[in-house]
Amino acid sequence: MGVPISLAALKSRDLPLATVATARFCRSGGKGIAGLAAPIALCPRAGGKAGFGPVLAKITRMNIAMLSQPASGATIVPGIFLDPVAIAIVLGGTAASMVLRNRLGDVARALVALRVLWRRPLVADAMLDQVAALERIARRHGLFSLDRSVIADPDMAAAIEAAIDGETPEQVEAIVTQRVQARAERHRAAIEVWTGAAEAAPAMGLVGTILGLVQMFATMTDPARIGAAMAVALLATLYGALLANLVALPIASRLKRLARAEAVQRVRLAAPLARLATLDRARGTISAREVAA
């Protein structure tokens, strides 16, 4: 009894399937073929001397030739991955989540923090050199002479002002520590904004997927609108994943590393600045050249 075999099965990319199909065809004597018959040249010669070795070799060459050809429709058009509706759902939903979960000041600080993403981590060596120079001036002329010094860093300026006002070394060190902690807290708030965005983006992608599926099921009778709804459903998930893993999370990670490095470096200033409070507050005068130094 012949086994129904189609030519499509013989030309399939599946090597075992094509081999078995050809073997069945040869055993059936070409009977029971659906559609066109397989090439007779693939069958072994009469008498069984040739066997199925040549058949397997020919099928292998046929499959290799077919696999080497590019699949039809494999070209990717970048424009098909752009959908304004899906973009609006993901970006708008993520932005709304950022605003609702955080204070507006923290959101603004998180956006401003984008300017420092590519900066090098803070190194306090230059500030330590400045503190050492100020200490030499204070030893010669007293702490009051530092009141005319120009200090750009606000933490250093606050600590030196406290030393000039007569605070103890412990109090000056506490001021530096408190300002470092306050700065770290502001950085942490900005980092949490981007971490929250990374959490919200995939969820907004899922929302877009649900909305797209609902629209697709509602327009099943209109084939022209099914494709657009399905595009929203699929692309919203894609946009959410990309926004979370390629934008929000990398930003949060970089800001976290910069904030950690800055906190470690600023703690190094506490002891030198506290040492200024042990010096005499008034002693002689100071020249303009020493102040500039």
Residues 6+ apart with CB under 8 A from 61: none
The more confidently predicted of residues 184 and 66 is 184
Written as six digits, the tokens of 185 are 């807290």
Percentage of the chain beyond pLDDT 70 is: 70
- What is the C-alpha to C-alpha distance for residues 110 and 86, in angstroms, rounded to an integer? 25
As a whole number, mean pLDDT of residues 174-187 equals: 94
181 backbone dihedrals φ, ψ, rounded to 5°:
-65, -40
Strand partners, 34: 6
Please say whether the beta carbons of 193 and 258 come within 8 A. no
Please say whether the beta carbons of 236 and 90 come within 8 A. yes
Considering only the C-alpha atoms of the chain, give the largest distance between any 2 of them, rounded to a whole number of Å: 122
Whether residue 110 is predicted with pLDDT greater than 80 in this model: the reply is: yes
> 245, 239, 246: which is closest to 87 by C-alpha?
239
Query: What rounded mean pLDDT belongs to the chain?
Result: 79
3-state secondary structure of 64: helix
Ranges 57-61, 90-94, 271-275: which has the least confidence:
57-61
> 121, 131, 122, 120: which is closest to 270 by C-alpha?
131
Whether residue 182 is predicted with pLDDT greater than 90 in this model: the reply is: yes
Whether pTM exceeds 0.85: no
Would you tell me the crossing angle of helices 154-164 and 125-141 to the nearest 10 degrees? 20
3-state secondary structure of 33: strand
The more confidently predicted of residues 106 and 79 is 106
- The confidence score (pLDDT) of residue 115 equals 93
Residues 6+ apart with CB under 8 A from 3: 24, 25, 28, 32
- The confidence score (pLDDT) of residue 142 equals 85
- The confidence score (pLDDT) of residue 289 equals 41
The more confidently predicted of residues 24 and 42 is 24
- The confidence score (pLDDT) of residue 21 equals 53
The more confidently predicted of residues 111 and 281 is 111
Residue type, 35: G
